Amino acid sequence: MTTRTELVEDLMARFPHIPREAVLKEDLLRTGFAFDESALTDNLDGEIKPKSYFIFSFDQKPLAELGEAAKRRPPEEVA
């Protein structure tokens, strides 16, 4: 059986004109990914900021008022 890594590397080799980042991104969009419990946070007062605000965000409530969904969620962007 071919692993996911082998599949992605094969696609990168077969289509060298496609940026490697695009191949990886498409695979992530196709299959998804999950965060481990240790990557999520229950701590609104700590150093971890699970929610980011953007210039045109309509969600301008403090984190404490956003409820459980905002407290236990992965980051909005994966760097």
Cβ(72)–Cβ(64) below 8 Å:
no
Q: What is the pLDDT along the chain (79 residues), one digit of tens a residue?
A: 589 999 999 999 999 999 999 999 999 999 988 777 776 666 555 555 555 555 555 556 666 676 666 666 666 665 5
Is the pTM higher than 0.75?
no
